[in-house]
Structures are given as C-alpha cells and as structure tokens.
Structure 1
Amino acid sequence: MSNYAAAVNKKRDTLDPDMGRASKLMMPEQEEDGARELFDEMMFQEHEICMKGVQQLRIPVDSEPGKNRRKKGRPRRDSSDSEMVDLHTLLLNCAQALSTDNRRTASELLKRIRQHSTPKGDAAQRLAHYFAEALDARLAGRGSELYQSLMARRTSVADFLKANQLYMAACCCKKVAFIFANKTICNAVVGKSRLHIVDYGLSQGLQWPGLLRMLAAREGGPPEVKITGIDLPQPGFHGAYHIEETGRRLSNFARVFGVPFKFHGIAAKRETVQPEDLNIDRDEVLVVISLCHFRLLMDENLGFDTPSPRDQVLNNIRKMRPDVFIHGIMNGSYGATYFLTRFREALFNYSAQFDLLDATVPRDNEGRLLLERDIFGRSALNVIACEGADRVERPETYKQWQLRNHRAGLRQLPLNPDVVRLVLDKVKDNYHKDFVVDEDQRWLLHRWKGRVLYALSTWVADN
C-alpha cells in the first residue's frame, strides 16, 4: 500500500456507515474496499501512471503478426470466393437497406459483414463487428432494450481504471483536456485566495488531483478550493452515492496535500441545476467546466416547446457569470435525426477512433478490448440502433457549439498562447506523430490524421 493510501485509510473511520447501502449497482463491501484503494492510487499517481503507459505503448505495434500485410483502406480478399471485401462499403449498403426497410437485403449484407469481422482483428474488422451488432439490433427493433441492458451491467472498478489508463496513454485528447483545463484554472486564480469549480459531469473526479497538487505547490500557499460536482443520479436507493464517494476521495487527497477543500455534490439532470443551487460567492473565483458531457443533453430534434436542455444549461452558465467557462466537446456530426446521415458520420468518426487504437495499442491488449466493447461499442449501439429520447449520444461539431454558446449570451476568449504551447509540447514529446493539435476560431482542436475528434475553448458571460 502506498503512503497516500495509508494516509487515506486512517480517515475512513469517520465515513457514514449507511453510505454502503445503495442500489443493486453498488459493489460488495470487499470489492468496494479494493476499489477505493485503486482510485486512491490512480488519483495520487495519475501523471506517473499515464506517462508509464505512454512509454509502454512505444513498443512498436507494427511488429505484431499481420499488422502490415495490408495497407490501410485496401479491401480484403475473401479466400473462399476470391472476391474483394470492403467492410465500410458493406456497412454503408446495409444501413442504406435498413433506411428503406429492405430487410432481406440488410440481413444478407449483415451475414457477409459478420463473416469478415471480429473484435480481435484489425481496426476495420473490429469496427465492423460492433457496427454489425448495432445494425442487427436496429433490424430486430430491440436497440433500446439492448442498450439499456448493457448500461445496467456493473463494470468492475479494475476494468474501468484499466480502460481509462489505456486511453490516457494511447490518445492525447483526454490528457490534453486535463492540462488545458488545469492550467487555465491556475491562471484564473493567480493572486486570489478562493476558488469555486462547478463541474458538469464529475464522473470519478480523476482530473482534479492534478489541479490540487499544482495549487498545493503555489507560491504563497494554495487557495481555498470548493468543487461542486454535478452528475446524473444512479438507479437505486441512494442515487448520489457515486458523487459523494468521489467527494470523499477528493477531500482526503486535498487533506494529504494541505489544500483547504470543500465538496458539494448534486445528483440531478444538468439542465435543472440553477445558479442559486450552487452557493456562489462573488468573492471567489468561479470556474465552470464541462469536458464532453453536454453531448448527452437532448437537443431541439425532440421538439421542445421551451429551450432545449442544451440551451438551458448554457443560459444557466451565463447567469452564473463565471470568471471562465471551460468547454470541451466531442466533435461529431452523428447527432442528426435522419438515420442514414447519422450512420455515415458515425462510421467516419468511429473509424478514426478504432484506427488510432490500432496504431498505438497491441491487438491483444485487454484494456483495448474493454475500451472498444464497453465504450465505443455501446455508444455506437446507441447512435445506430436507438431513436427518440432513447438516443442519448448526440454530439455536435465545435462550430455548432460555438453558435449555441454565442446565442446563449457567452463570449469566447482567445486561447492563452502559453497554455497552447504547453499542450503542443506534451503531445509532440509523448504521443503518436499522427496526433495533431491546432487552432481554429479560438478552439483548440485535437486531430487524428486530419479528423477533428475533440475541441476545447474558454468563455465568459457576454457583458
């Protein structure tokens, strides 16, 4: 056990014993104890663990058997009948057949796709495997049922951390977002004694130990820090359990590093949280942040009479009048209403995600299998097989978000050149050469082989 984990364990006697009673999704007590220690280690050594993972992935994946037998994009030859098989074309044709309710053709194409796809092959084979599952669910009319059953499965903490660590090491985007946000916050709080962060989509709070460590080392001592974490309630008796557990971990971490700290957790739909719920004090530096979570908010396509949940959230942020709003988005056009358009855009976007993993991670890596199945596979299922309110994955492009933010009364800030330079150096020194970070319209873009996957920007109320 690390010194940090030991220090944290000493403080657990004060925790509410009833917090272990939650829903069927809660972990058994023995597993929960192990989970807490895993999270403690991850929080304490996030940067070191990430950089170690980056170094381990530098072992040339091109040396894997069969990795370079075929150039990317070339169709594969079917040994049984000597025909050339282009999985992307088969997938598009299958989606076209489904869009016109040509079920017989769709079934025949699905059969061919399954013959040439596998979750353990190259990027195209893996993507085709998960897209075929989604198309099959749509064909059977059980997309929502299947998606809900998959989301109800409890992913072990060890598996969650394994997938998270792998993605941090393989793809620069998440690490870039953490560096960009933390440096922006440190700049905002220079010379100030109190900091309040409103975090939409707290998740497991893995971003914040890095910031707390930076603030602890600040000349003159750290400011008082308050984090308000907003996340959706989980099913069961105690829907705020995961938020409160994250708050306890962060509080213990801050205590070890000597940072005055308070945590306020809110389990609610993001659009329902009002500024008056946040105990905002005008003497504190207020930072609002969302990293890729607003894509899960409903948009105008469901026919809201009032402003959509997306616009409600942005309007509420404007009313908060933050010193800075840090907005990170997953860039994509596969939130469209029309199925075929949505499928085509999803195919291009997910192809880039599977390709970057194929270029950076060995094919037999367990974390990669988890990531592709439980993250990309599930989200692709939702995009392809679900409709209406059941379709929760609704990304927009950074240009679309820019229009939304302006319409909500937010004003975009120029990117800080020092922060941009720090990010560029980190990517250049540690990540694959096909990752490119550049700027457009005051957004910091993360590209893989030219395709924009993520984008970051900063805003204030336009007044």
Structure 2
Amino acid sequence: MLGAPVGDRDDDARGSPVAAPSSPRELVLACADLLHRGDVDGARRVVDVLLSGADPRGDAADRLAHHFARALARRIDDKGVDAPAGAAPTPSPSPSAYLAYNQIAPFLRFAHLTANQAILDAAANSVARRVHIVDLDVAHGVQWPPLLQAIADSADPAVGPPEVRITGAGPNRDVLLRTGDRLRAFASSLNLPFRFHPLLLPCTAQLADDPTTVLELHPGETLAVNCVLFLHKLGCEGELATFLKWVKSMNPTVVTIAEREASIGGDYTEELPRRVAAAKDYYSAVFDALEATVPPGSADRLAVEHEVLGKEINAALAPGRTGEHVRGFEAWAAAARGAGLSPQPLSAFAVSQARLLLRLHYPSEGYVAEEVRGACFLGWQTRPLMSVSSWQ
C-alpha cells in the first residue's frame, strides 16, 4: 500500500519531503487540490508516488488509485488546456473488453434489458407495422438481438412480425458496418424483416437542419429514440437542451434514457477537487462491486478496468470540451421535461425482469434493482449506480 512522503506546494527547488496523506484516496484528492491551486510540480510528484505504489493488479483501492493517477497524469501532461472542438473522441473499448464488461458487470445488460422492455411495451401499444429505432450510440449492437428475438417471438402468426429498422449512430464507419452485418444476419435467422442504416457521427448540423431526411422518418411507424449512455457525451447544458428538443421534434413514440448515477461535471468552470471527489465516490462503489463478485486475478476484470472504466475516469477528469457531463437522474429528468418530453413510468414487468437478471447472472446480495420515481435504478448496496427511464 501507499505511504511514501511527497513534497507539498511550498517545497523548495530541492523537493524536500514533508508529511503527506498516506492512503490512495487521500493522495488522489491531494493531487487534485495541488492541480487546482496551480502547483503542477507538486501534483506530478504525488502522481509519481501513486503510480509507483498503487498496484494495478492489487485490491480495489489500489486499482482505483492507479486509474485515477493515470487520468491525473494525463491531465498534467495536457497542461489542463481545453481540447480543440474537432479533437478526436476517446477510442472505444475493444469488442473483447466490451463483451467482458457485459459478462462480469450488470450495468450494460441492465440498461439494455430495461430500455428494450420500454420499447417493446411501446410497440405493443401501437398499431404500426413498422418499428424504427434510432440508437445514438449503437457501438457493437449487443443491445438489439434480444429485442429482435422478442419481436419475432411475439408476432401474430396470421400477419407475421413487423418490419424493424435500426438507425445506428457512431463515430467509426467500419464498426457500424460490421454491426449492421451482424444484426442483419441475426434478423435473417429469425425471418424478421430488418434494415440497418449506419449514421456516422458527428453529423449534428445535417440532423438539426432536416432530421426527417437524414433519419428517413416515415409516418405510421413506431419511432423509438434510444439514448443509452449517450447524453453524458454532450457538452454544456445548452447542447443537451438543444438535442432533447430535437428529439422531441421527431414526435417519438418512446425515448429511453439510461445513464450512470453520478454528478461528475466535465465543465472546466467546476473545481477539479470537487469533480475528482464525486468521481471517486462513484467508481469506488463500482470497483468494490467488481472486487466482491469477480474472482481474484480475473483477466476480464483487468481488461474492463483498463479499457472501459479507466477511459471513463479519463473522460470524467479531462479539462474543457473533452470532459463528460455525468449527472444524476433528477438532472436528466429536468432536462427532458424542459424539452417538452413527458415521463412514461416503466412497467412492473420491466422492473421484475431487471431483478431476475441480477439473481440469475450476477448473484450477489450487493446488487439491487428498484423502481423509484417512475425510473428503474441499479445500485450496489445503498449506492445507486445507474438509472433507466422512459419518455414520450
């Protein structure tokens, strides 16, 4: 564990050591405070202590400290300046890490399952024979095979299943094309009429000018806009409000929103120590959950922490326009209402499905799923970690 002394901001040029915090958490917060006060040299010394002492293969506290140290080191190296507006986005996790995350942690499957049920409920209550899903972050498309299977299984044999079309958005054309190929092959195996349209982002200007043309919206279809782990990638409050108003302008049958339950702002006007403390609070619970439910030394867990959670921590601590804006459910709900969307409480079946998912695939007394304020929350012990809600 950590305990080496580090210099504070008043050290002279020789860097004489003084008494310093000893726990990984204290060192991370001390580094954030030094950076906030402009003591880059002092912050770099603390980061060096963290990186030399926090074992990335150790216990949850050490592994978490290691990833926070890497994120802070990256911020120091970038000199805390805003990234240009056209800067490349953070690379997506590899398919293997993404699938491993799905297997060892319930967050993605919980979000996908609960959002899918809201879409199925909306389609069941519609007379339309076409279902169009606009997925703003389709990635590898793992959310959609269960939904396609459910639509095929519930179809009336006399008329057959409805046509399903997915507009899948993302920043990588090759990934989108491979995702479309996999989904088309799966739908074909079900004899389900299916189309996939790749939408390369960013294309904000074109979408704002004429979303009907770009998205091929048609009257008489059940339109679902899927925002699973997407809204936090938008910039300031104004960009979020503009996006949600654009969604509302399409008159969707259902809008699904799934986000992490945290308050981690990416705005450079928010003090870095506060952002780091909020991120530490959230990711401490995530790392504790993985520590309690995944076997020691798991290669999958290390890959997930490096390629998924580590990148999330980098994004949460990044300065300026590169930072993410993770809010709690109340903030997302207020933004949705402000855009004219109305809450649609999730069905009791959706909540019971979420609980069954935890019991069958992530058996631990620590994970909890419950319905609160019309949304479904996933938590670890008493700490909410994710919410899923439905809007119209």
The structure-2 alpha-carbon separation of the partners of 1:429 and 1:245, relative to structure 1 and needing over 3 Å to count, comes to closer
1:342 equivalenced with 2:268 (yes/no): no
Tell me the equivalent position of 1:49. none
Change beyond 3 A, Cα 1:268–1:103: closer
What residue is the counterpart of 2:361 in the other structure? 430
Partner of 1:295: 232
- The yes-or-no answer on 1:418 pairing with 2:355 is no
Of the three residues 319, 325, 343, the one matched with 2:249 is 319
Q: 1:324 deviation in Å? A: 0.9
> Are the counterparts in 2 of residues 168 and 174 from structure 1 also a CA contact under 8 Å?
yes
Query: Is the 8 Å Cα contact of residues 77 and 84 (structure 1) preserved in structure 2?
Result: no
- Cross-structure match for 2:76: 139
Contact conserved, 2:2 with 2:53, CA < 8 A, in 1? no
Does structure 1 residue 227 correspond to structure 2 residue 166?
yes
Deviations 1:314-347 (A, max 9, x none): 1111111111111111222111522111111111
Q: Is the 8 A contact 1:144 1:390 kept in 2?
A: no
Q: Match for 2:338: what amino acid?
A: R
1:399 counterpart = 2:330:
yes
The 3-state SS of whatever aligns with 1:412 is: coil
1:165 match: 99
Distance 1:454 1:144, change over 3 A: farther
Is the contact between residue 87 and residue 124 of structure 1 (CA under 8 Å) also seen in structure 2?
Answer: yes
Q: CA deviation at 1:242?
A: 2.4
Equivalent residues, number: 362
1:45 corresponds to which residue?
A: none
Offset of residue 359 of structure 1: 1.3
Q: What does residue 194 of structure 1 align with?
A: 130
Please point out which of 122, 129, 141 is paired with 1:205: 141
Q: Secondary structure at the match of 1:410?
A: coil
Aligned match for 2:198, one of 265, 268, 277: 265
1:102 paired residue number: 39
Q: Which amino acid aligns with 1:224?
A: E
Deviation at 1:107, TM superposition (A): 3.7
One-letter identity of the residue aligned with 1:374: E
**Amino-acid identity (%):** 29
Give the counterpart letter for 2:101 in structure 1.
Y
* TM-score (norm. length: structure 2): 0.85
What secondary structure is seen at the aligned counterpart in 2 of 1:119?
Answer: coil
Give 2:14's aligned residue.
none
198 and 78 in structure 1: CA distance in 2 versus 1, 3 angstrom threshold: closer
Judge which range, 375-384 or 441-450, deviates more. 375-384
2:251 partner letter: R
Aligned to 2:308: 375
RMSD: 2.6
Change (3 A) 1:145 1:171: same
| Structure 1 residues 57-76: aligned runs within 5 Å | none
Matched, 1:117 2:44: no
Gaps of at least 5 residues in structure 2 are: 6-19
Query: Higher helix share goes to which structure?
Result: 1
Check conservation: 1:231, 1:243, Cα contact below 8 A.
Answer: yes
How far apart are the structure 2 equivalents of 1:289 and 1:77?
43
1:340-396 superposed Cα distances (whole Å, 9 cap, x missing partner): 111111111111222111112223222211111122222322332x312232x2211
| Cα distance in 2 between the residues matched to 1:97 and 1:338 | 12
| 1:176 CA displacement | 1.5
In 2, Cα distance between equivalents of 1:264 and 1:405? 26
Q: 1:280 to 1:435 in 2, by over 3 A?
A: same
Does structure 1 retain, via aligned residues, the 8 Å contact 2:82–2:322? no
Amino acid across the alignment from 1:231:
G
1:44-101: CA deviation from partner (whole Å, max 9, x where unpaired): xxxxxxxxxxxxxxxxxxxxxxxxxxxxxxxx58699xx9932111211121122112
Q: Is residue 333 of structure 1 aligned with residue 263 of structure 2?
A: yes
Distance 2:170 2:198 in 1: 8
- Runs of at least 5 residues in structure 1 that lack an aligned partner in the other structure: 1-75, 235-239, 301-307
Give the direction of change, closer, same or farther, for the CA distance of 1:151–1:458 in structure 2 (3 Å limit).
Answer: closer
1:394-439 CA deviation, whole Å, 9 max, x = no partner? 2111111111001101111122112112222222343221111112
**Kept after mapping to 1: 8 A contact 2:369/2:377:** yes
